[in-house]
Structure 1
Protein backbone atom coordinates (compact mmCIF):
# COMPACT_ATOMS: atom_id res chain seq x y z
CA UNK A 1 0.00 0.00 0.00
CA UNK A 2 2.94 2.28 0.74
CA UNK A 3 4.01 2.06 -2.92
CA UNK A 4 0.58 3.19 -4.11
CA UNK A 5 0.51 6.19 -1.76
CA UNK A 6 4.03 7.22 -2.80
CA UNK A 7 2.95 6.96 -6.43
CA UNK A 8 -0.19 9.06 -5.88
CA UNK A 9 1.69 11.75 -3.96
CA UNK A 10 3.88 12.41 -7.02
CA UNK A 11 0.82 14.05 -8.60
CA UNK A 12 -0.60 16.11 -5.75
CA UNK A 13 -0.78 16.74 -2.04
CA UNK A 14 -3.09 14.82 0.26
CA UNK A 15 -3.57 14.96 4.03
CA UNK A 16 -3.59 11.94 6.33
CA UNK A 17 -7.42 11.68 6.32
CA UNK A 18 -7.48 11.63 2.51
CA UNK A 19 -4.72 9.01 2.37
CA UNK A 20 -6.59 6.87 4.93
CA UNK A 21 -9.75 7.17 2.81
CA UNK A 22 -7.87 6.03 -0.32
CA UNK A 23 -6.48 3.05 1.58
CA UNK A 24 -9.96 2.18 2.91
CA UNK A 25 -11.41 2.23 -0.63
CA UNK A 26 -8.78 -0.16 -2.01
CA UNK A 27 -8.00 -3.81 -1.49
CA UNK A 28 -5.01 -6.02 -2.17
CA UNK A 29 -5.30 -8.64 -4.87
CA UNK A 30 -2.95 -11.42 -5.88
CA UNK A 31 -2.87 -12.74 -9.43
CA UNK A 32 -1.09 -15.96 -10.30
CA UNK A 33 0.92 -16.10 -13.51
CA UNK A 34 -1.47 -16.31 -16.51
CA UNK A 35 -4.50 -15.06 -14.51
CA UNK A 36 -6.49 -12.24 -16.09
CA UNK A 37 -7.06 -8.86 -14.47
CA UNK A 38 -9.56 -7.96 -17.20
CA UNK A 39 -10.74 -9.81 -20.29
CA UNK A 40 -11.92 -9.08 -23.79
CA UNK A 41 -15.67 -9.44 -24.11
CA UNK A 42 -16.25 -8.11 -20.59
CA UNK A 43 -16.65 -4.64 -19.11
CA UNK A 44 -13.59 -3.66 -17.01
CA UNK A 45 -14.76 -3.27 -13.41
CA UNK A 46 -11.63 -2.21 -11.53
CA UNK A 47 -8.51 -0.07 -11.57
CA UNK A 48 -5.28 -1.74 -10.48
CA UNK A 49 -1.87 -0.62 -9.30
CA UNK A 50 1.01 -3.07 -9.76
CA UNK A 51 2.94 -3.43 -6.51
CA UNK A 52 4.89 -6.51 -7.62
CA UNK A 53 5.01 -8.38 -10.90
CA UNK A 54 4.41 -7.82 -14.60
CA UNK A 55 1.14 -7.68 -16.52
CA UNK A 56 0.77 -7.58 -20.28
CA UNK A 57 -1.87 -6.03 -22.46
CA UNK A 58 -2.78 -8.29 -25.37
CA UNK A 59 -5.43 -8.95 -27.99
CA UNK A 60 -6.17 -11.30 -30.86
CA UNK A 61 -5.67 -9.94 -34.39
CA UNK A 62 -7.94 -10.70 -37.34
CA UNK A 63 -5.94 -13.88 -38.05
CA UNK A 64 -6.61 -15.17 -34.54
CA UNK A 65 -3.00 -14.62 -33.46
CA UNK A 66 -2.29 -13.34 -29.98
CA UNK A 67 -0.46 -10.00 -29.99
CA UNK A 68 1.23 -8.52 -26.92
CA UNK A 69 0.79 -4.77 -27.05
CA UNK A 70 2.43 -3.58 -23.82
CA UNK A 71 3.97 -4.60 -20.52
CA UNK A 72 2.98 -3.01 -17.20
CA UNK A 73 5.34 -3.50 -14.26
CA UNK A 74 5.80 -2.24 -10.72
CA UNK A 75 4.59 1.21 -9.67
CA UNK A 76 2.17 1.57 -12.57
CA UNK A 77 -1.55 2.08 -12.78
CA UNK A 78 -3.34 -0.52 -14.88
CA UNK A 79 -6.80 -0.34 -16.44
CA UNK A 80 -8.54 -0.37 -19.80
CA UNK A 81 -9.64 3.16 -18.93
CA UNK A 82 -11.72 4.08 -21.96
CA UNK A 83 -13.94 1.02 -21.53
CA UNK A 84 -13.85 1.29 -17.72
CA UNK A 85 -15.18 4.86 -17.84
CA UNK A 86 -17.74 4.17 -20.57
CA UNK A 87 -18.94 0.87 -19.07
CA UNK A 88 -18.33 -0.80 -22.42
CA UNK A 89 -16.94 -4.18 -23.39
CA UNK A 90 -13.16 -4.41 -23.81
CA UNK A 91 -11.40 -5.93 -26.80
CA UNK A 92 -8.17 -6.51 -24.87
CA UNK A 93 -6.88 -8.66 -22.07
CA UNK A 94 -4.73 -7.65 -19.12
CA UNK A 95 -2.94 -10.85 -18.08
CA UNK A 96 -0.33 -11.55 -15.41
CA UNK A 97 3.04 -12.57 -16.93
CA UNK A 98 4.37 -13.32 -13.46
CA UNK A 99 2.77 -13.78 -10.06
CA UNK A 100 1.50 -10.30 -9.18
CA UNK A 101 0.55 -8.32 -6.13
CA UNK A 102 -1.88 -5.49 -6.89
CA UNK A 103 -3.87 -2.82 -5.13
CA UNK A 104 -7.30 -2.49 -6.75
CA UNK A 105 -10.26 -0.14 -6.64
CA UNK A 106 -13.78 -1.10 -7.69
CA UNK A 107 -15.45 1.32 -10.08
CA UNK A 108 -17.74 2.55 -7.30
CA UNK A 109 -14.86 3.20 -4.88
CA UNK A 110 -12.76 4.86 -7.59
CA UNK A 111 -15.63 7.24 -8.38
CA UNK A 112 -16.36 7.93 -4.71
CA UNK A 113 -12.83 9.26 -4.26
CA UNK A 114 -13.66 11.96 -6.84
CA UNK A 115 -16.79 12.91 -4.92
CA UNK A 116 -15.07 13.10 -1.52
CA UNK A 117 -11.48 14.28 -2.05
CA UNK A 118 -11.03 17.81 -3.33
CA UNK A 119 -8.33 17.70 -6.00
CA UNK A 120 -8.61 13.93 -6.58
CA UNK A 121 -9.74 14.41 -10.18
CA UNK A 122 -6.55 16.35 -10.93
CA UNK A 123 -4.38 13.60 -9.39
CA UNK A 124 -6.43 10.85 -11.06
CA UNK A 125 -6.21 12.51 -14.47
CA UNK A 126 -2.42 12.68 -14.29
CA UNK A 127 -2.18 9.02 -13.26
CA UNK A 128 -4.59 7.96 -16.01
CA UNK A 129 -2.67 9.96 -18.65
CA UNK A 130 0.54 8.11 -17.76
CA UNK A 131 -1.33 4.78 -17.72
CA UNK A 132 -2.82 5.41 -21.15
CA UNK A 133 0.50 6.64 -22.55
CA UNK A 134 2.32 3.53 -21.32
CA UNK A 135 -0.42 1.27 -22.67
CA UNK A 136 -0.52 3.03 -26.03
CA UNK A 137 3.23 3.23 -26.55
CA UNK A 138 3.86 1.89 -29.94
CA UNK A 139 5.50 -1.46 -30.10
CA UNK A 140 8.67 -1.88 -32.07
CA UNK A 141 8.75 -0.47 -35.57
CA UNK A 142 8.12 -3.48 -37.79
CA UNK A 143 10.22 -1.94 -40.59
CA UNK A 144 13.27 -2.35 -38.34
CA UNK A 145 15.04 -5.68 -38.44
CA UNK A 146 14.23 -8.07 -35.61
CA UNK A 147 17.63 -7.72 -33.93
CA UNK A 148 17.23 -3.93 -33.73
CA UNK A 149 13.74 -4.35 -32.26
CA UNK A 150 15.08 -6.73 -29.62
CA UNK A 151 17.98 -4.42 -28.74
CA UNK A 152 15.53 -1.53 -28.31
CA UNK A 153 13.32 -3.75 -26.13
CA UNK A 154 16.35 -4.57 -23.95
CA UNK A 155 17.11 -0.85 -23.66
CA UNK A 156 13.52 0.18 -22.89
CA UNK A 157 12.60 -2.75 -20.61
CA UNK A 158 15.84 -4.07 -19.10
CA UNK A 159 14.09 -5.46 -16.02
CA UNK A 160 11.67 -7.57 -18.08
CA UNK A 161 14.14 -9.64 -20.12
CA UNK A 162 14.45 -12.41 -17.55
CA UNK A 163 11.01 -12.03 -15.97
CA UNK A 164 8.62 -12.33 -18.90
CA UNK A 165 8.15 -15.54 -20.92
CA UNK A 166 9.97 -15.39 -24.27
CA UNK A 167 6.75 -16.16 -26.11
CA UNK A 168 5.30 -12.82 -24.91
CA UNK A 169 8.44 -10.88 -25.80
CA UNK A 170 8.44 -12.51 -29.25
CA UNK A 171 4.77 -11.55 -29.71
CA UNK A 172 5.52 -7.97 -28.68
CA UNK A 173 8.42 -7.83 -31.16
CA UNK A 174 6.40 -9.43 -33.96
CA UNK A 175 8.70 -12.44 -34.37
CA UNK A 176 8.44 -16.15 -33.68
CA UNK A 177 9.85 -17.56 -30.48
CA UNK A 178 12.44 -19.48 -32.54
CA UNK A 179 13.59 -16.26 -34.22
CA UNK A 180 13.88 -14.56 -30.85
CA UNK A 181 15.98 -17.44 -29.52
CA UNK A 182 18.35 -17.10 -32.51
CA UNK A 183 18.61 -13.33 -32.03
CA UNK A 184 19.38 -13.74 -28.32
CA UNK A 185 22.01 -16.39 -29.09
CA UNK A 186 23.72 -14.15 -31.67
CA UNK A 187 23.81 -11.14 -29.32
CA UNK A 188 25.60 -12.95 -26.50
Structure 2
Protein backbone atom coordinates (compact mmCIF):
# COMPACT_ATOMS: atom_id res chain seq x y z
CA UNK A 1 0.00 0.00 0.00
CA UNK A 2 2.99 2.31 0.51
CA UNK A 3 3.47 2.53 -3.26
CA UNK A 4 -0.09 3.75 -3.72
CA UNK A 5 0.16 6.34 -0.95
CA UNK A 6 3.45 7.63 -2.40
CA UNK A 7 1.74 7.84 -5.79
CA UNK A 8 -1.31 9.82 -4.64
CA UNK A 9 0.77 12.20 -2.51
CA UNK A 10 2.38 13.42 -5.76
CA UNK A 11 -0.96 15.05 -6.54
CA UNK A 12 -1.72 16.74 -3.21
CA UNK A 13 -1.35 16.56 0.55
CA UNK A 14 -3.25 14.32 2.92
CA UNK A 15 -2.96 14.11 6.69
CA UNK A 16 -2.55 10.80 8.53
CA UNK A 17 -6.30 10.52 9.22
CA UNK A 18 -7.10 11.02 5.51
CA UNK A 19 -4.44 8.49 4.45
CA UNK A 20 -5.90 5.98 6.91
CA UNK A 21 -9.35 6.60 5.43
CA UNK A 22 -8.07 6.01 1.89
CA UNK A 23 -6.36 2.80 3.02
CA UNK A 24 -9.53 1.61 4.77
CA UNK A 25 -11.36 1.76 1.42
CA UNK A 26 -8.58 0.01 -0.54
CA UNK A 27 -8.35 -3.70 -1.18
CA UNK A 28 -5.47 -5.75 -2.53
CA UNK A 29 -6.28 -7.79 -5.62
CA UNK A 30 -4.11 -10.48 -7.19
CA UNK A 31 -5.01 -10.81 -10.86
CA UNK A 32 -3.54 -13.88 -12.58
CA UNK A 33 -2.06 -13.59 -16.08
CA UNK A 34 -4.75 -13.52 -18.81
CA UNK A 35 -7.50 -12.53 -16.32
CA UNK A 36 -9.62 -9.46 -16.90
CA UNK A 37 -9.75 -6.38 -14.72
CA UNK A 38 -12.55 -4.97 -16.87
CA UNK A 39 -14.53 -6.59 -19.70
CA UNK A 40 -16.45 -5.48 -22.73
CA UNK A 41 -20.21 -5.69 -22.29
CA UNK A 42 -19.97 -4.95 -18.56
CA UNK A 43 -20.05 -1.74 -16.56
CA UNK A 44 -16.60 -1.20 -15.01
CA UNK A 45 -16.91 -1.47 -11.23
CA UNK A 46 -13.38 -0.84 -9.95
CA UNK A 47 -10.65 1.78 -9.99
CA UNK A 48 -7.18 0.39 -9.47
CA UNK A 49 -3.50 1.07 -9.01
CA UNK A 50 -0.86 -1.30 -10.41
CA UNK A 51 1.61 -2.32 -7.71
CA UNK A 52 3.18 -5.14 -9.71
CA UNK A 53 2.64 -6.44 -13.22
CA UNK A 54 1.52 -5.32 -16.65
CA UNK A 55 -1.98 -5.01 -18.08
CA UNK A 56 -3.20 -4.05 -21.51
CA UNK A 57 -6.22 -2.28 -22.93
CA UNK A 58 -7.59 -4.15 -25.92
CA UNK A 59 -10.64 -4.51 -28.16
CA UNK A 60 -11.81 -6.37 -31.25
CA UNK A 61 -12.08 -4.50 -34.54
CA UNK A 62 -14.83 -5.08 -37.12
CA UNK A 63 -12.81 -7.96 -38.65
CA UNK A 64 -12.79 -9.67 -35.21
CA UNK A 65 -9.04 -9.04 -34.86
CA UNK A 66 -7.76 -8.37 -31.36
CA UNK A 67 -6.10 -4.95 -31.11
CA UNK A 68 -3.91 -3.91 -28.16
CA UNK A 69 -4.39 -0.19 -27.56
CA UNK A 70 -2.10 0.43 -24.59
CA UNK A 71 -0.03 -1.11 -21.81
CA UNK A 72 -0.29 -0.16 -18.14
CA UNK A 73 2.48 -1.11 -15.72
CA UNK A 74 3.60 -0.40 -12.18
CA UNK A 75 2.81 2.89 -10.44
CA UNK A 76 -0.14 3.69 -12.68
CA UNK A 77 -3.84 4.18 -12.08
CA UNK A 78 -5.95 1.76 -14.08
CA UNK A 79 -9.60 1.84 -15.02
CA UNK A 80 -11.96 2.38 -17.93
CA UNK A 81 -12.57 5.92 -16.71
CA UNK A 82 -15.27 7.12 -19.12
CA UNK A 83 -17.46 4.05 -18.62
CA UNK A 84 -16.64 3.82 -14.90
CA UNK A 85 -17.66 7.44 -14.39
CA UNK A 86 -20.68 7.25 -16.70
CA UNK A 87 -21.86 3.91 -15.32
CA UNK A 88 -22.00 2.63 -18.90
CA UNK A 89 -21.06 -0.61 -20.62
CA UNK A 90 -17.44 -0.90 -21.77
CA UNK A 91 -16.41 -1.74 -25.33
CA UNK A 92 -12.84 -2.68 -24.31
CA UNK A 93 -11.07 -5.17 -22.12
CA UNK A 94 -8.35 -4.54 -19.56
CA UNK A 95 -6.41 -7.79 -19.31
CA UNK A 96 -3.44 -8.89 -17.23
CA UNK A 97 -0.39 -9.63 -19.43
CA UNK A 98 1.48 -10.94 -16.36
CA UNK A 99 0.44 -11.92 -12.87
CA UNK A 100 -0.56 -8.61 -11.26
CA UNK A 101 -0.92 -7.16 -7.81
CA UNK A 102 -3.34 -4.24 -7.67
CA UNK A 103 -4.82 -1.90 -5.09
CA UNK A 104 -8.52 -1.53 -5.97
CA UNK A 105 -11.48 0.54 -4.92
CA UNK A 106 -15.14 -0.16 -5.57
CA UNK A 107 -16.98 2.62 -7.38
CA UNK A 108 -18.89 3.38 -4.17
CA UNK A 109 -15.71 3.67 -2.08
CA UNK A 110 -13.89 5.70 -4.76
CA UNK A 111 -16.78 8.19 -4.85
CA UNK A 112 -17.14 8.30 -1.05
CA UNK A 113 -13.57 9.58 -0.79
CA UNK A 114 -14.68 12.65 -2.79
CA UNK A 115 -17.45 13.31 -0.29
CA UNK A 116 -15.21 12.99 2.77
CA UNK A 117 -11.81 14.38 1.70
CA UNK A 118 -12.10 17.95 0.41
CA UNK A 119 -9.01 17.80 -1.86
CA UNK A 120 -9.68 14.27 -3.18
CA UNK A 121 -11.45 15.46 -6.35
CA UNK A 122 -8.53 17.71 -7.32
CA UNK A 123 -6.05 14.89 -6.65
CA UNK A 124 -8.22 12.35 -8.47
CA UNK A 125 -8.54 14.64 -11.50
CA UNK A 126 -4.75 15.00 -11.73
CA UNK A 127 -4.35 11.20 -11.50
CA UNK A 128 -6.96 10.70 -14.23
CA UNK A 129 -5.32 13.29 -16.51
CA UNK A 130 -1.98 11.53 -16.17
CA UNK A 131 -3.62 8.14 -16.80
CA UNK A 132 -5.38 9.39 -19.95
CA UNK A 133 -2.18 11.08 -21.18
CA UNK A 134 -0.13 7.93 -20.67
CA UNK A 135 -2.69 5.80 -22.52
CA UNK A 136 -2.99 8.18 -25.47
CA UNK A 137 0.52 9.52 -26.13
CA UNK A 138 2.32 6.24 -26.69
CA UNK A 139 0.27 4.71 -29.49
CA UNK A 140 2.09 3.64 -32.66
CA UNK A 141 1.72 5.84 -35.73
CA UNK A 142 0.12 3.75 -38.46
CA UNK A 143 1.94 5.61 -41.25
CA UNK A 144 5.32 4.50 -39.86
CA UNK A 145 6.87 1.24 -40.97
CA UNK A 146 6.93 -1.71 -38.56
CA UNK A 147 10.58 -1.25 -37.62
CA UNK A 148 10.04 2.41 -36.70
CA UNK A 149 6.95 1.49 -34.66
CA UNK A 150 8.91 -1.22 -32.82
CA UNK A 151 11.79 1.17 -32.06
CA UNK A 152 9.24 3.69 -30.71
CA UNK A 153 7.73 0.91 -28.57
CA UNK A 154 11.19 0.15 -27.14
CA UNK A 155 11.68 3.84 -26.39
CA UNK A 156 8.25 4.26 -24.74
CA UNK A 157 8.15 0.91 -22.93
CA UNK A 158 11.82 -0.07 -22.39
CA UNK A 159 11.09 -2.42 -19.50
CA UNK A 160 8.14 -4.27 -21.03
CA UNK A 161 9.64 -6.01 -24.05
CA UNK A 162 10.82 -9.05 -22.07
CA UNK A 163 7.84 -9.13 -19.72
CA UNK A 164 4.86 -9.51 -22.04
CA UNK A 165 4.00 -11.97 -24.81
CA UNK A 166 5.19 -10.94 -28.28
CA UNK A 167 1.69 -11.48 -29.66
CA UNK A 168 0.50 -8.49 -27.60
CA UNK A 169 3.37 -6.33 -28.80
CA UNK A 170 2.64 -7.33 -32.41
CA UNK A 171 -1.04 -6.49 -31.91
CA UNK A 172 -0.12 -3.11 -30.44
CA UNK A 173 2.20 -2.37 -33.36
CA UNK A 174 -0.30 -3.53 -35.97
CA UNK A 175 1.98 -6.23 -37.39
CA UNK A 176 1.85 -10.02 -37.42
CA UNK A 177 3.89 -11.96 -34.90
CA UNK A 178 6.04 -13.28 -37.77
CA UNK A 179 6.74 -9.72 -38.96
CA UNK A 180 7.67 -8.72 -35.43
CA UNK A 181 10.11 -11.64 -35.23
CA UNK A 182 11.76 -10.49 -38.49
CA UNK A 183 11.93 -6.89 -37.26
CA UNK A 184 13.52 -7.97 -33.98
CA UNK A 185 16.02 -10.19 -35.80
CA UNK A 186 17.03 -7.35 -38.17
CA UNK A 187 17.74 -4.79 -35.44
CA UNK A 188 19.72 -7.01 -33.08
TM-score where L is the length of structure 1: 0.99
For the residues of structure 2 that align with 1:70 and 1:95, how far apart are their CA atoms? 11
> Once the 2 structures are TM-superposed, how far is the Cα of residue 44 of structure 1 from its aligned partner?
0.1
Determine the structure 1 residue equivalent to 2:142.
Answer: 142
After TM superposition, the runs of 4+ consecutive aligned structure 1 residues lying more than 4 A away are: none
1:88 partner SS:
coil
Q: CA deviation at 1:134?
A: 1.8
8 Å contact kept, 2:138–2:156:
no
Which SS does the other structure have where 2:56 is aligned? strand
Please tell me the root mean square deviation across aligned C-alpha atoms, in Å. Answer: 0.7
1:46 is aligned to 46
Please name the residue that 1:116 is paired with. 116
Preserved CA contact (<8 Å) 2:58 2:93: yes
Check whether the contact 1:11–1:126 (CA below 8 A) recurs between aligned residues: yes
Is the aligned partner of 1:76 residue 2:81?
no
Which residue number in structure 2 is paired with residue 106 of structure 1? 106
Give the gaps of 5 or more residues in structure 1: none
How far apart are the structure 2 equivalents of 1:73 and 1:183? 24
- Number of aligned pairs? 188
C-alpha distance in 2 between matches for 1:39 and 1:125: 24
- For 2:63 and 2:138, how far apart are their aligned partners in 1? 20
Offset at residue 138 of structure 1 (A): 5.2
Cα distance in 2 between the residues matched to 1:9 and 1:63: 44
SS at match of 1:51: strand
Aligned to 1:155: 155
Secondary structure in structure 2 of the residue aligned to 1:90: coil
1:1-188 pair list within 5 angstroms: 1-137=1-137, 139-188=139-188
Supply the distance in 2 between the matched residues of 1:49 and 1:136 (Cα, whole angstroms). Answer: 18
